[in-house]
Chain A
Amino acid sequence: MPDFIPPDSVGLVTPTTHHFQKPLQLSGGETLSDYALVYETYGELNTSGSNALLICHALSSNHHAAGYHGLADKKPGWWENIVGPGKTIDTNHFFVVCCNNLGGCFGSTGPSTAHPSTGKPYGPDFPIVTVHDWVTSQAQLANVLGVDTWAAVIGGSLGGMQVLQWSMDYPDRLRHAIVIAASSKLTAQNIAFNEVARQAIRSDPDFHDGRYYEHDTEPQRGLRIARMLGHITYLSDDIMGEKFGRDLRDGKIGFDYNADFQVESYLRYQADSFVGNFDANTYLLMTKALDYFDPAGPTHGDLAKAFAPIKSRFLVMSFTSDWRFSPERSREIVKALHDNDLNVSYAEIKASHGHDAFLMKIPQYLDVFGAYMHRIEQEIN
């Protein structure tokens, strides 16, 4: 529980759920007859509607980007470091929207939601959704909120992929795109990591072909391993060395299979706090959305050609120690943008934190990001 809500926090926030009755045609060929999206907003939409920002979330996060749901909350929203009054994304000036993506497990329609015709959770019958489908549903949400054009769409990691998709799908509905620690497609190594995570979940005896809800259980062992693997790839060798080194939990090795090293204990803690808070089917689905993202697919690998419809201005940022979505991947995005003579700035932030750096308060990151946000703010005024 926070002793008090810091003045630079958006404070107590309440999520809203919107039920969409209009069917959504999905990339995989299926149609969702109706669906719900849960979202949060911070700050006020100005009268001209020009100060709206959309934040797109990454693999395992959600609509709760900033603030607290209650005083009993142990932690604030996932991007509290960045979003709040006077912060980099300044809620005194911007109206900020963040929604839980379709297929999620925090209130938006997903595998754990009851199927409208059976009343039982969708489970494996929930169709695989893509980044494009998310963006289509987010555009529907923009309509509901009265946002015609976003001042900026912003996202890190998988969120950054949604930003790219927004700029291609709705070139006239965003003025700026901020893509952080992202990639225009996963490498074979990345897909391989995702496959190991999926196999961990799917081979868990409690998985029951994805219908574990009906057995009143969940594939906790698989989900734990998937999360541990994920965490290893989100950190760098350096930051793990810095944080844990070979430090022992009890000062001596135990000659048994308990957690001897601090790093083991850290991974177990991360796994513990994940299970019970995240749905295994959603994890499977989100990793598939990641794997499938490849905007240059239809243009036979020509990303510049795929980016031809884009009109927005870009800020692209990467982190030196991020090996999951390395700076080279961001440079490919930057190249395809400047090949189209689009306005783009790129910063390669020196950070030892690995992929997770986009969540951290790194001075150079905040300076660059803040300078760009300030430009957007000046345009609005």
Chain B
Amino acid sequence: MLDLTNRPDLVIIADWIKPDSRALDLGCGDGALLGHLAYHKQVSGYGLEREDEYIAQCIAAGINIIQMDLDQGLAEFDDNSFDYVVLSLTLQAMRHPEKLLEDMLRVGREGIVTFPNFGHWRARVQLGIFGSMPFTKTLPNTWYDTPNIHLCTLKDFEALCKTLNIRILEHQAVDSEHRSNPGLKLFPNLLGEIALYRFEWG
């Protein structure tokens, strides 16, 4: 069993997911979340992953993994096939994040996304005061060599949800260690490094 010690954000997601449900994990990596959910909550489902290195790893852990590129969309999944569709730290790397959000709610009853917050004060200072693209723990790439082509702030994400008629059910912001604190709860868009959202159609 893969453990979630180093991924408290996945612990938060796992807490949001009800036992005996069905989940689709988009960009599931080593399958830590699905492994945890299967073991502790009898959750079944599939992980989708593009990278070769994770396939054998997931299979060895007994996780159903389907190798595919998320940019191709979720067309092969029927409407309402899952209770939850999870997209962890991948939204900002998608070619069409808004289409993927809609697709997530077509395939699943609820969506869960996490993404690095571009509105975090460090990012703001680096761009606003020093005038260069942010380079932080959660945004560890140079501007010219990054998979993160669609970065956004919590405010931006919430505005998009409004446009798409998506209702936010629950949200949290955490620091780069994926932990929360009272300050984060007061000023999530300023102090939160990673944002987590659970949502459904409005």
Contact = CB atoms under 8 A, between A and B. Distances in A.
* Pairing of A with B: yes
A370 interface: yes
Given A345-B65, A346-B65, A348-B67, 6 more contacts: A338-B66, A345-B59, A345-B64, A346-B66, A367-B55, A368-B55
A364 B52 contact: yes
Nearest to A364: B52
B170 interface: no
A315 B59 contact: yes
B129 interface: no
Given A331-B76, A338-B77, A350-B52, A368 B66 contact: no
Contacts of B62: 375
Contacts of B145: none
A120 interface: no
Contacts of B68: 331, 346, 348
A347 interface: yes
B176 interface: no
Interface string A353-364: 000000000001
A331 B76 CA distance: 9
Interface string B73-99: 000111001000000000000000000
B26 interface: no
A344 B78 contact: no
A344 B76 contact: no
Nearest to B78: A339
Nearest to A338: B46
A346 B78 CA distance: 18
B66 A371 contact: no
B186 interface: no
A371 B56 contact: yes
Contacts of A345: 55, 58-59, 63-66
Contacts of A364: 52, 55-56
A96 to B, nearest CB: 20
B21 interface: no
Interface of A: 315, 331, 334-335, 338-339, 341, 343-348, 350, 364, 367-368, 370-372, 374-375
Shortest 10 CB-CB contacts between residues of A and residues of B:
A371-B56, A367-B56, A371-B59, A371-B60, A346-B66, A335-B76, A368-B56, A347-B55, A348-B67, A345-B65
16 contacts: A315-B59, A331-B68, A335-B76, A339-B78, A341-B22, A343-B64, A344-B46, A345-B64, A345-B65, A346-B65, A368-B56, A368-B59, A371-B59, A371-B60, A374-B60, A375-B62
Interface in B46-60: 46, 52, 55-60
A371 B55 CA distance: 9
Contacts of A370: 56
Contacts of A343: 64
Nearest to B76: A335
A71 B188 CA distance: 74
Contacts of B67: 346-348
B192 to A, nearest CB: 35
B172 interface: no
Contacts of B138: none
A343 B60 CA distance: 14
A338 B22 CA distance: 12
Contacts of A331: 68, 76
A315 B59 CA distance: 9
A345 B48 CA distance: 10
A351 B76 CA distance: 24
A219 to B, nearest CB: 43
B76 A375 contact: no
A368 B66 CA distance: 12
Given A345-B66, A346-B65, A375 B60 contact: yes
Contacts of B56: 364, 367-368, 370-371
A331 B65 CA distance: 13
Contacts of B78: 339
A372 B61 CA distance: 9
B76 to A, nearest CB: 5
A333 B66 CA distance: 12
Given A345-B64, A345-B66, A375 B52 contact: no
Contacts of B57: 371
A110 to B, nearest CB: 37
A334 B60 contact: no
B187 to A, nearest CB: 42
A303 to B, nearest CB: 12
Interface in B12-65: 22, 44, 46, 52, 55-60, 62-65
A341 B60 contact: no
Interface string B107-142: 000000000000000000000000000000000000
Most buried by B among A331, A341, A344, A345: A345
